[in-house]
Structure formats: C-alpha cells, structure tokens
Amino acid sequence: MYQTVNDPPPEISHRAQPEHKLKLMTSATPYFCDGCKELGYGVRYTRDCGGGHSIHLHTHCALAGDTLVHPLYGYGKMEFRLLLEPPSAVQGRACDGCGEPTLDYVYHCFEQDLDIHPGCATLPQRIVHDGRALELRWKASRPCVQCGDNKGRRSMFWAYSSYFDGEVVDLHVACLKENARISWEATYRNRMHERYGKISLVVASVVCSLVFGTQWP
C-alpha cells in the first residue's frame, strides 16, 4: 500500500545505533517495526542480535529523511521533524494521517502539535490503479466505501477519494491499512498452510495410529 522506496541499499547503519548494520531482506513473516511499532510485511531492514532477538525496520522508517515535506501541509510550509521517540510522555498520541497510535518514530510538527507515521508520510497524493485515480484528502466527505461510516473516529482522518462507476467514493486511510493487513495475513496463512499442512497431516496420522490404533481417515 505504501509508496516503495526506490533502490533501497542492501545494507545501512541503524539510525539510533550507527555502529549496528541492518541488512535488506524479504520475508513473508509479518513483524513489528522497531521504529514506528506498526506491523510490517515483506521487504525490511533486519539485524540478528543473537539469542533469538532481531531488530526489524520498515524501509520507509529506516530510510526516512530528517524532515518531511508533505503536499497536504503546503509542501513544507509546516515543519515536520523525524523524532525517534514521542515528543512528550503524553499517552494516547495518534497519527494525524490515519488516526492510529504513534509510538517512537514519528514526524512531528512542534508548532501545530501534529504527528504523522513515517509510513503514512509516504502515502502518495495520487494513486493511479487500473485506469482509476485515487486522490488523498484531509478526510472523507461521504460514508467510507469499506466501513460505511461517516461520523466515527476514522472519518476525522485522511481518506482516498475516487470515481467509481460515475460516483465519487471515499475510503479511509485507516480502512486501507486494515485491508492491506488482512490481505497480507491471508496470504501468509495460505503459505504456512501449504508449507506445514502436509506435515500436520503426517503427525495427525501417526498420533491417530498410536493413540487410537487406527488409520487416519
């Protein structure tokens, strides 16, 4: 769902601990990014710290610039700085893009007290897919095409607007993120089922013959 970072380098230094190197890798296993603490899938930067512990970073978190220029905020008229920790100890801070919690890596505007996830900051202003254009807006102006809501919390945050069969349709960015998560999880579950499904059948047939003295049906 996010704009891909073009040609990410195969190895980088960790922003917070430059002596540590992170390697670019791809895996189907979901992870929590140690930068923004949001879920991630696919391509990532990783460091094996030993003892079964690894650091993972989204490419957009690992390669995030120190400042953000965003079209919805006047192309740089408001100053956003990348912080590696929340700007204050206040609990319950939320991204002004998607409305979901912000933890650690965040673009912050001190003047207006705004926060944006590094991932939300990379959402393109315009997406063209299958000949249809989706435009990023401050918020939906009609019920969201996915959740049907136009008064709830998600309606206070960014949405994509598009024409579909001659009608304007809006989709909350939070619903878009949820869609992406559900489709990744479904893909991951299918892969795991393909990989381990046969093994679990073998185990089941062995257990069946040992415990019940019978063949697996």
Interface contacts to Zn ion, rule CB under 5 A = 33, 35-36, 58, 61, 95, 97-98, 117, 120, 144, 146-147, 154, 172, 175
> CB-wise, 82 or 120, nearer to Zn ion?
120
The answer to whether the CB of 82 falls within 8 A of the CB of 67 is yes
Q: What tokens were used for 43?
A: 């391509």
Q: Tell me how far, at minimum, the Cβ of 74 lies from Zn ion, in Å.
A: 19
Per-position DSSP letters for 54-82, written without gaps between them: EEEE-HHHHT--SEE--GGGTTTTS-EEE
Residue 196's alpha-carbon distances to 161, 192, 202, in angstroms, are 41, 6, 10
Q: Tell me how far, at minimum, the Cβ of 163 lies from Zn ion, in Å.
A: 18
Q: Tell me how far, at minimum, the Cβ of 168 lies from Zn ion, in Å.
A: 15
Torsion of CA 66, 72, 77, 78, to 10 degrees: -60
> CB-wise, 58 or 70, nearer to Zn ion?
58
> CB-wise, 180 or 208, nearer to Zn ion?
180
> CB-wise, 136 or 175, nearer to Zn ion?
175
Strand partners, 129: 132
Q: What tokens were used for 68?
A: 């953000």
Q: Tell me how far, at minimum, the Cβ of 100 lies from Zn ion, in Å.
A: 5
